[in-house]
Amino acid sequence: MKSLAELAKIRDEAKNKIDLRGKKNTRIVVGMATCGIAAGARPVLLALVEEIKKRNLNDVEVVQTGCIGVCVLEPIVEVYNETGEKVTYIEMTPEKARKVIADHIVNGKVVSEYTIGAKKA
Ligand code: FES
């Protein structure tokens, strides 16, 4: 049985971890369902992670998700900014992923030709 003080310490440590995670300004979500992987999402994810590491972008996190819902447009990468606004990139490749990091994440310029909006047009 843990004492109250020990429990409080565990709670505070967990809270600090959450706060640290909360400090990430940009969140990049990669669809890694079967169709995403089949379409090449793994090398895309790897390219994103490598590029972020290379550029020391400490406030950017990359996470995996399952089905995003549009198999035919995979690999899909969603970029959420600090206010929760989302840009959806489709039919991604490692090269496109590196450009998204350079243009969108670093320079704040959405690569509109890779977005889902460009496909519909
Ligand atoms: S199974 Fe392909 S997007 Fe969901």
Q: Along the 121 residues of the chain, how does pLDDT read in single tens digits?
A: 678 788 788 777 776 665 555 567 899 999 999 999 999 999 999 999 999 999 999 999 999 999 888 899 999 999 999 899 999 999 999 999 999 999 999 999 999 999 999 976 5
pTM: predicted TM-score of the whole model, two decimal places: 0.79
Give, for ligand 1, the residue of 30, 35, 91 to mutate: max count of ligand atoms closer than 8 Å to Cβ: 35
Looking from the CA of 65 toward its CB, the CA atoms found within 13 Å total: 16
For residue 50, the model assigns a pLDDT of 97
* CA 74 – ligand 1 centroid, Å: 8
For residue 104, the model assigns a pLDDT of 97
Q: Which atom of ligand 1 is nearest to the CA of 70?
A: 3
Two tokens at 68? 């995003």
Q: Give the whole-angstrom CA distance, residue 29 versus residue 66.
A: 10
The answer to whether 65 touches 111, Cβ cutoff 8 Å, is: no
For residue 9, the model assigns a pLDDT of 82
For residue 15, the model assigns a pLDDT of 66
For residue 1, the model assigns a pLDDT of 65
69 lines ligand 1 (CB under 6 A): yes
3-state secondary structure of 112: helix
For residue 93, the model assigns a pLDDT of 98
Residue located nearest, by CA, to atom 4 of ligand 1 = 67
Q: What is the DSSP letter of 74?
A: -
For residue 20, the model assigns a pLDDT of 52
